[in-house]
Amino acid sequence: MITMDNIIREGHPTLRRSADLVTFPLSAEDRKIAAEMMEFLSNSQDEEIAEQLNLRAGVGLAAPQIDVSKRIVALLIPGEYEDDPPELAKVMFNPKIVSHSIESACLKGGEGCLSVDREVPGFVVRHSRITVAYQDAEGVTHKARYKGYTAIVVQHEIDHLNGVMFYDHINEQAPFAVTDDVIIIE
Ligand code: FHF
Ligand code: ZN
């Protein structure tokens, strides 16, 4: 089971590496990693389990964050209201942004990261809409479009596969300065 002890923190070199492509058919090891990543997110969003295990709630997890330098991402984005089905519940292998909007967007409250134990204030400017190609556990390639909050989370996760941290996108001189064409997501 993955707990916070398995999550590496900023300063660890794996977080700055470009992760390796996953090969198919998936190894038993890679299948287990994917299942455990999804289990972590589910546990982290369960109030009781999260309290017992001292988990920080997460909506996404990239394999490099558990010191596995492979292109695997787990996403568990809750629905709008309690008891709604998740907005997105998926493990992606070898995800890649194949096209994106010209328009940019950022979360009003900035971003955090399970691998960063401090607040880093500022707008993390990203693509407003993205098309992602990825493989599922069977190696089948899919193409999906995301917008809004979901698009932001997916970009945060794909960044981890490329050694990029969310604060790399914050304007150091003016963390909350954006041009007026940037959509600010509440
Ligand atoms: C999170 N947590 O999941 C953040 C961190 C924008 O690479 O957003 O570091 F659990 C992955 C509802 C709303 C339920 C918010 C992408 C952030 C990705 C994980 N929590 C939440 C929730 C959350 C990171 N990460 C603050 C831990
Ligand atoms: Zn992160």
Rounded to whole angstroms, the Cα distance separating 100 from 151 reads 10
Q: Is 37 in the pocket of ligand 1 (CB under 6 A)?
A: no
pLDDT digits (tens, 9 = 90+) for 163-182: 999 999 999 999 999 898 99
Q: What pLDDT band is residue 157 in, cutting at 50, 70 and 90?
A: very high
Closest to 95 in 3D by CA, of 159, 38, 33, 26: 159
Q: Ligand 1 pocket check: which of 82, 113, 115, 123 to mutate, most ligand atoms within 8 Å of Cβ?
A: 113
- Residues 74-88 as b/e (b if ≥16 CB within 10 A, e otherwise) read bbbbeeeeeeeeebb
Among positive and negative, which fits the CA dihedral 13, 16, 17, 21?
positive
- Residues 6-40 as b/e (b if ≥16 CB within 10 A, e otherwise) read ebbeeeeebbeeebeebeeebeeebeebbebbbeb
Angle, CA of 113, 60 and 167, to the nearest 5°: 30
Q: Ligand 1 pocket check: which of 12, 40, 41, 59 to mutate, most ligand atoms within 8 Å of Cβ?
A: 59
pLDDT digits (tens, 9 = 90+) for 13-43: 999 999 999 999 999 999 999 999 999 999 9
169 assigned binding-site residue: no
Q: What pLDDT band is residue 9 in, cutting at 50, 70 and 90?
A: very high
Please give the pLDDT value at position 143: 98
Which residues, 6+ apart, have CB-to-CB distance to 84 below 8 Å?
A: 78
Please give the pLDDT value at position 178: 87
113 assigned binding-site residue: yes
Q: Which atom of ligand 1 is nearest to the CA of 44?
A: 10
Question: Which residues are part of the catalytic machinery?
Answer: 157
Cα(158) to ligand 2 centroid in Å equals: 9
Tell me if 90 sits within 8 A of 75, measured CB to CB.
yes
Above 90 in pLDDT, residue 52? yes
Amino acid making up residue 44? S
pLDDT digits (tens, 9 = 90+) for 56-105: 999 999 999 999 999 999 999 999 998 999 999 999 999 999 999 999 99
The four Cα atoms 15, 130, 26, 88 give a dihedral, to 10 degrees, of: 100
Q: Which atom of ligand 1 is nearest to the CA of 111?
A: 6
Please give the pLDDT value at position 21: 99
Write the class of the CATH domain 4-185: alpha beta
pLDDT digits (tens, 9 = 90+) for 123-147: 999 999 999 999 999 999 999 999 9
Please give the pLDDT value at position 129: 98
160 assigned binding-site residue: yes
Which residues, 6+ apart, have CB-to-CB distance to 31 below 8 Å?
A: 137
